[in-house]
Amino acid sequence: KQKEFEKATGKVSAQSKEALRAALAGVLERRMFYIPSFKIYGSVAGFYDYGPPGCAIKQNMTQTWRNHFVLEENMLEVECPAVTPEIVLKASGHVDRFTDFMVTDAVTGECFRADHLLEGHLEALLEDKKNPPSPEKTKEIRELLASVGELKQDTMAAALKEYNVRAPGTGNDISPPFPFNLMFKTSIGPKGDLVGYLRPETAQGIFVNFRDLLYYNGGKLPFAAAQIGNSYRNEISPRAGLLRVREFTQAEIEHFVNGADKSHPKFASIAGLRPLLYSRALQMGEEKKAQPMSLGEAVEKGIIANETLAYFIGRTWLFFIKVGINPERMRFRQHLQHEMAHYATDCWDGEVETTYGWVECVGLADRSAYDLKAHTSMSKIDLTAFEKFPEPRMEEVVKVVPNNKELGAVFKKDQKAVKEALEALDECGAMELKSKLDAGETAKVAASTGQTFDIKPGMVEIKKVTEKVTGKTYTPSVIEPSFGIGRIMYCMFEHSYYTREGDETRAVMGFKPVVAPTKATVFPLVQKPALNELATKISRDLTSAGLSNIIDTTGNTIGKRYARTDEIGVPFAVTVDFASVDGDGSVTLRERDSMAQVRVPQSEVASVIRNLVDDRMTWGDVTATYPAQKAQADDE
Amino acid sequence: KQKEFEKATGKVSAQSKEALRAALAGVLERRMFYIPSFKIYGSVAGFYDYGPPGCAIKQNMTQTWRNHFVLEENMLEVECPAVTPEIVLKASGHVDRFTDFMVTDAVTGECFRADHLLEGHLEALLEDKKNPPSPEKTKEIRELLASVGELKQDTMAAALKEYNVRAPGTGNDISPPFPFNLMFKTSIGPKGDLVGYLRPETAQGIFVNFRDLLYYNGGKLPFAAAQIGNSYRNEISPRAGLLRVREFTQAEIEHFVNGADKSHPKFASIAGLRPLLYSRALQMGEEKKAQPMSLGEAVEKGIIANETLAYFIGRTWLFFIKVGINPERMRFRQHLQHEMAHYATDCWDGEVETTYGWVECVGLADRSAYDLKAHTSMSKIDLTAFEKFPEPRMEEVVKVVPNNKELGAVFKKDQKAVKEALEALDECGAMELKSKLDAGETAKVAASTGQTFDIKPGMVEIKKVTEKVTGKTYTPSVIEPSFGIGRIMYCMFEHSYYTREGDETRAVMGFKPVVAPTKATVFPLVQKPALNELATKISRDLTSAGLSNIIDTTGNTIGKRYARTDEIGVPFAVTVDFASVDGDGSVTLRERDSMAQVRVPQSEVASVIRNLVDDRMTWGDVTATYPAQKAQADDE
């Protein structure tokens, strides 16, 4: 009845979410998809190990990602260390701003995330049946709840005070909120004076290599670089299981492009895709529901900022479908204006619906030229590209001509530094200086040495001239799709889990063959030497074809053995029977989701499964090619 | 002439080593196989990024490793975090003992590795032409040099003092040597009270999961678990480029086995292999040279301790050959007795000859039951396995029967603790207690609570009885093959590098197809739309077949283009010419090392290359199947 209600209304009750999550967790832990790390020492929150099937799925997923993005798009893949010296993360802003607000229990010293505490407190007020808040108060609480993530230190402090939020468990006073940096800190080298952090994202490794990568790419833009690797965030109080961990695998792409032209040559190939888009307008509207829309239309209407960003949204959608996410339970949500950094042009999060709500699994951001400019400014290394015009153009340019004689007389040994500072001015800086000098004022100019110099009229001539220019130097924009592999895996687990019709205890993990940890199991029908021998031979054939497989000679009933393999999501099962050794030599091949069975010659079975896994053949092709085998009474 | 001398004597002069290393480094850096990390910020010693071709080779190498070991042997692969709480590394001994001796410049505070300093100093003395040491002194220095790695803190201090070793560069006094822990330290969580380290090896993650892995394996031994992941060592002063880095990828196997039976079911499959073995006897002997010996013979003669260790030596040898290490320049060197930890049974290092000398790339160690016992002792969690005997046996066992009445009267509330302590005694402990009590003495017994109790005669009965036992509980032994992926890569680079006969400037990286970063290049013979179009189509076919490829339409001569692809080790090149579009539709396929060319139908070329890369076809098969194409004058 619960199920019918859910089907009819499209809503899932809290109980049924809890039940589903618990049932799934049971399978995942029992079959060792993951294990809380350091379990024999009591574990540490926020750390998980992948056990054998989890590890295999992760490998398959990153390999699929690599084929889908790196290989298909000829991206430049790099691998950089996780240990990162402070200056890199100072430039990126992480040292100063990668923080969450923390409060502590005034008595016990226990630490909490301020936003989690406030949210919990407000939700409890809304659900308080004994003392329900007034309609006005309810409205106020709801509004505050919606903006908890954007509160600043002072407004957070005010809110915690106003609602008299206290420490959970003890009910003690809490400290005012203060920023806590989420990076793990360490020191590099024996002297202890070189501060390092574990990277909070893989992206910075690509940015600091931009110059070399551009050279590698023959100086041509656009190009994309990619990195798959572990990142680290010292979360204050990790919860939500596999969704918020302290060490996790990211797969990030930095697509470098001239900000003046963000068209994409392959845009047409994805323009017809219709993922669920949850635009700013839909979020502010009445229904608050994502709508399918073709990416072509979204770019045309200006909903998605440009073709390149839309191209990656499309490719990301295809990737998610390929690894087993249900496209009807995935949406791309646009960041509201106040959610975006000041420099960002447009951002979309790929979110997947789970029992935890909508989970952000990928962020796609047009970050303009912010990152490369930040590193140029810190490193003093030029991180620009040069756009050669098809034809030279006549353009008005600003010329800065220092008066060497005058500079030499006034600045003596600093003459060179002053001259360089003047010549380094960009167009705006030069025109600003000109206007001051023209007004007879003295203006200050900063040199790269750290000195500041007073420039007086007559020391420099600044003029606009029209001249032939062959191209333009610019700092490329970056469009960044950033994937959280662990989160995608968890969401995929939820979307893959189901129970057999009519038997709630028979769990099936309906993994796509490409991500399934084990591609096939091999069973002898009964325990006989001849059958075991053939099963072993077929297992070896599968291994030679690069197909992970398990041979099960336990002698359990076939039905029990199928149930076991269903639970770890093995898509195909090969059963060897007497006909396989004495008759026509064929074996039974069974597909997990349809439970359909066919007879395949034993010499062909490895290549058939290989083709199925590599998507070169569908199960439909197989049933059309090979004769069906009727399931036996005790099979399922 | 230098080359002829080297060929004849088998010796390579120091100059030619330097020259080779410099030439190779030129290619590796120019083609971005690797990049010093954080280059725009001046880099940090001991950290390297893999650029696009390096990253691809590393992926191919770890994937080959996974297929060769994990898939072939059905190992249980796991993935554990790098951030590790202190208690785990306290148990393993790393917190207390994972150190190098450091000395500092008494004036500048600069840090040095004591052993490197002493070695450098002693080598300089030996090479001092002006004041050559006496023959006795020379002998003494040579002996000290050979044992530098095994000096303890006091003997190291004495040696540095005796030889008056001073700080390099400044000539200042140096501090006495002191141990410096090589682990990167951090803290976990917001309170800062949970000390963590970046793991110095991946092995511990497997040990702490032993209980769950055994359960996953149905309680059966032997089984092996594996992990590929990054490890971290805060080296005091990293040198030797890619060979000694602070963050590096390990691939480790822990094969758990009953110490009483280390035979291996697949031993026969490798018994006939004849790698170069450098046994203890050969190292102590006159010639000091490794000899080829079959692994079967080595086990039979007791040179290698057991079949399982020998099996992994054989499989490791095959892996090295598969990825491009020259087997004539690889040896397995047995640890001398004093090099091994007290608990180790037998250890062999897989070493590869390079311009840096013999480089340890893999360690294969029979570590007995040390690791699991260490974690049992720290965690108080039972990490044992149970061996069920085929038939129950009658065995003499020691029975401990506490006298409850007596214990209750004497120990009152502690009775339970005393009883448990007595029952927890192992066979030796119980017999020792018995002998004391029988002699009328009082004996002390320690309880798990930390208390100690005086046991007097009459409080417990200890007797040997013969009874039926069904099996035995034991702590498994561990045989550990541990691979350093980065080192294998560097050695493979050296073994792959050569120059074309007669042209010292034409560098070739002779990568095996399976590890080559790019499997094929596609060239149109000349720049014509029809040829470019067909080349693009073939490039797409290759991509669909999962083959990384580069299309080069630069219009350079074919010879120049071949030279470029040789340098990044592309094994196959496809050239599209007029016959490809107007004639029989065939294209030219060229193999890098032989430079031989054949004509292949365009529709078959992707699958031919796929088969070559997957080792399903040799180049000999290809030349036997397809007609040869004569090379053009300007081709090479």
Helix A14-30 and helix A2-9: axis angle, to 10°?
Answer: 110
Strand partners, A586: A601
Q: Do B543 and A72 touch (CB under 8 A)?
A: yes
pLDDT in tens, B238-274: 877 889 899 999 999 999 999 999 999 999 999 999 9
If you average pLDDT over residues B550-579, what whole number do you get?
Answer: 90
Residue B492, CA distances (Å) to A447, B323, B400, B570 in order:
48, 8, 60, 15
Residue A88, CA distances (Å) to A57, A78, A193 in order:
33, 17, 16
C-alpha B562: how far from chain center: 35
B188 vs A44, A51, A58: nearest CB = A44
Alpha carbons B183 and B92: distance in angstroms, whole number: 13
C-alpha B85: how far from chain center: 24
Alpha carbons A387 and A221: distance in angstroms, whole number: 8
| pLDDT of B451 above 90 | no
Res A194: pLDDT: 94
Query: What would the two tokens of residue A547 be?
Result: 């197909």
Share of chain A above pLDDT 70, in %: 97
Hunting for tokens 């480094």 — which residue is that? B25
- Which residues lie closer than 8 Å to A399 by C-beta, 6 or more apart? A461, A462, A463, A464, A465
Chain A partners within 8 Å of B543 (Cβ) = 71-72
H/E stretch holding A359 reads strand A357-366
Instruction: Report the candidate in A248, A238, A250 with the shortest Cα–Cα distance to residue A44.
Output: A238
Size (chain B), residues: 636
| pLDDT of B399 above 60 | yes
Alpha carbons B493 and A23: distance in angstroms, whole number: 50
Of residues A5 and A192, the one with the higher pLDDT is: A192
Q: Cβ(A63)–Cβ(A322) under 8 Å?
A: no
Chain A partners within 8 Å of B189 (Cβ) = 44-45, 111, 234, 236
Res B455: pLDDT: 93
Q: Do A212 and B187 touch (CB under 8 A)?
A: no
H/E stretch holding B460 reads strand B460-474
The distance of A130 to chain B (nearest Cα, Å) reads 36
A87 vs B41, B45, B48: nearest CB = B41
Cis status, amide bond into B222, omega within 30 of 0: yes
| pLDDT of B447 above 70 | yes
Hunting for tokens 């590098």 — which residue is that? B497
- Which residues lie closer than 8 Å to A453 by C-beta, 6 or more apart? A411, A414, A417, A418, A421, A444, A445, A447
Chain B partners within 8 Å of A54 (Cβ) = 79
Q: Do B71 and A230 touch (CB under 8 A)?
A: no
Q: How many CB atoms lie within 10 A of CB B609?
A: 25
Q: Do A79 and B49 touch (CB under 8 A)?
A: yes
For residue A542, which phi and psi values (nearest 5 degrees)?
A: -65, -45
Q: Do A37 and B80 touch (CB under 8 A)?
A: yes
User: Residue type at B301?
Assistant: K
Res A197: pLDDT: 98
Share of chain B above pLDDT 70, in %: 97
Q: Do A111 and B189 touch (CB under 8 A)?
A: yes
Size (chain A), residues: 636
Chain B partners within 8 Å of A191 (Cβ) = 109, 111
Chain B partners within 8 Å of A32 (Cβ) = 212-213, 216
Q: Cβ(B228)–Cβ(B253) under 8 Å?
A: no
Alpha carbons A62 and A60: distance in angstroms, whole number: 6
B47 vs A74, A81, A190: nearest CB = A81
Chain A partners within 8 Å of B186 (Cβ) = 184-186, 198
Q: What is the average pLDDT score of chain B?
A: 92
Chain B partners within 8 Å of A543 (Cβ) = 71-72
Strand partners, A342: none
Chain A partners within 8 Å of B234 (Cβ) = 188-190
If you average pLDDT over residues A452-471, what whole number do you get?
Answer: 91
Q: Do A79 and B85 touch (CB under 8 A)?
A: no
Q: Is B520 left (phi over 0), alpha (psi -120 to 50) or beta?
A: beta
Q: Do A212 and B41 touch (CB under 8 A)?
A: no
Res B5: pLDDT: 53
Helices assigned H by DSSP within B412-503? 415-423, 427-438, 485-496
Q: B7: pLDDT confidence band, cut at 50, 70 and 90?
A: low
B52 vs A76, A109, A548: nearest CB = A76
pLDDT in tens, B65-99: 999 999 988 999 999 999 999 999 999 999 999 99
If you average pLDDT over residues B580-607, what whole number do you get?
Answer: 94
Chain A partners within 8 Å of B381 (Cβ) = 40
Query: What would the two tokens of residue B519 be?
Result: 């499997």
Q: Which pairing describes strands B111-113 and B34-36: parallel, antiparallel, or unpaired?
A: unpaired
| pLDDT of A7 above 70 | no
- Which residues lie closer than 8 Å to A80 by C-beta, 6 or more apart? A199, A202, A205, A206, A209, A227, A229, B37, B49
Q: Do A188 and B188 touch (CB under 8 A)?
A: no
Q: Cβ(B403)–Cβ(B418) under 8 Å?
A: no
Q: Do A208 and B40 touch (CB under 8 A)?
A: yes
Q: A78: pLDDT confidence band, cut at 50, 70 and 90?
A: very high
Q: Which pairing describes strands B357-366 and B346-354: parallel, antiparallel, or unpaired?
A: antiparallel
H/E stretch holding B211 reads helix B210-216
Chain B partners within 8 Å of A74 (Cβ) = 550
Q: A395: pLDDT confidence band, cut at 50, 70 and 90?
A: confident
Alpha carbons B334 and B316: distance in angstroms, whole number: 15
Q: Cβ(B34)–Cβ(A81) under 8 Å?
A: no
Of residues A223 and B629, the one with the higher pLDDT is: A223
Res B111: pLDDT: 92
Q: Do B187 and A185 touch (CB under 8 A)?
A: yes
- Mean pLDDT is lowest, of A156-160, A196-200, B305-309, B552-556, for B552-556
Q: Do B190 and A209 touch (CB under 8 A)?
A: no
A52 vs B51, B205, B216: nearest CB = B216
- Which residues lie closer than 8 Å to A540 by C-beta, 6 or more apart? none
The CB-based long-range contact list for B186-189 (8 Å cut-off, 24+ gap) reads B186/A184, B186/A185, B186/A186, B186/A198, B186/B83, B187/A184, B187/A185, B188/A44, B188/A184, B188/A234, B188/A246, B188/B83, B188/B85, B189/A44, B189/A45, B189/A111, B189/A234, B189/A236
Res B503: pLDDT: 84
Chain B partners within 8 Å of A178 (Cβ) = none
pLDDT in tens, A257-291: 999 999 999 999 999 999 999 999 999 988 889 99
Q: B12: pLDDT confidence band, cut at 50, 70 and 90?
A: low
Q: Which residue of A has its CA nearest to B235?
A: A189
Q: What is the average pLDDT score of chain A?
A: 92
Instruction: Report the candidate in B191, B340, B368, B342 with the shortest Cα–Cα distance to residue B280.
Output: B340
3-state secondary structure of A191: coil
pLDDT in tens, A321-376: 999 999 999 999 999 988 888 889 999 999 999 999 999 999 999 999 999 999 99
Q: Cβ(B508)–Cβ(B564) under 8 Å?
A: no
Alpha carbons B520 and B547: distance in angstroms, whole number: 8
Q: Do A39 and B208 touch (CB under 8 A)?
A: yes
Res A3: pLDDT: 60
For residue A388, which phi and psi values (nearest 5 degrees)?
A: -85, 125
| pLDDT of A604 above 90 | yes
- Mean pLDDT is lowest, of A395-409, A577-591, B2-16, B97-111, for B2-16
Q: Which residue of A has its CA nearest to B100?
A: A190
Best to test chain B binding among A35, A40, A228, A245 (most B CBs inside 10 Å): A40
Q: How many helices (H) and strands (E) does chain A have?
A: 23, 28
H/E stretch holding A479 reads strand A477-484
Query: What would the two tokens of residue B260 be?
Result: 């009483």
Instruction: Report the candidate in B594, B590, B343 with the shortest Cα–Cα distance to residue B477.
Output: B343
Hunting for tokens 């360690």 — which residue is that? B363
Best to test chain B binding among A79, A87, A204, A372 (most B CBs inside 10 Å): A79
The model's pTM: 0.90
Res A18: pLDDT: 87
| pLDDT of B555 above 90 | no
Sheet with B357-366, strands from edge to edge, namely B76-77, B223-232, B247-257, B477-484, B357-366, B346-354, B330-334, B276-278, B291-292
pLDDT in tens, A525-568: 888 999 999 999 999 999 989 899 999 888 788 888 888 899 99
Chain B partners within 8 Å of A181 (Cβ) = none
Q: Which residue of B has its CA nearest to A378?
A: B41
- Which residues lie closer than 8 Å to B368 by C-beta, 6 or more apart? B259, B343, B344, B345, B477, B478
Q: Which residue of A has its CA nearest to B550?
A: A74
Res A632: pLDDT: 62
Q: Which residue of A has its CA nearest to B79?
A: A50
CA angle A571, A574, A577 (to 5 degrees): 155
Instruction: Report the candidate in B204, B199, B230, B184 with the shortest Cα–Cα distance to residue B379.
Output: B204
Alpha carbons A599 and A628: distance in angstroms, whole number: 6
Q: Which pairing describes strands B194-198 and B83-85: parallel, antiparallel, or unpaired?
A: antiparallel
Of residues A61 and A127, the one with the higher pLDDT is: A61
User: How many A-B residue pairs are in contact by the CB < 8 A criterion?
Assistant: 199
Chain A partners within 8 Å of B67 (Cβ) = 546
Q: What is the ipTM of this complex?
A: 0.89
| pLDDT of A67 above 70 | yes
Hunting for tokens 């202190």 — which residue is that? B86
Q: Which residue of A has its CA nearest to B58?
A: A79
B50 vs A78, A234, A247: nearest CB = A78
Res A502: pLDDT: 83
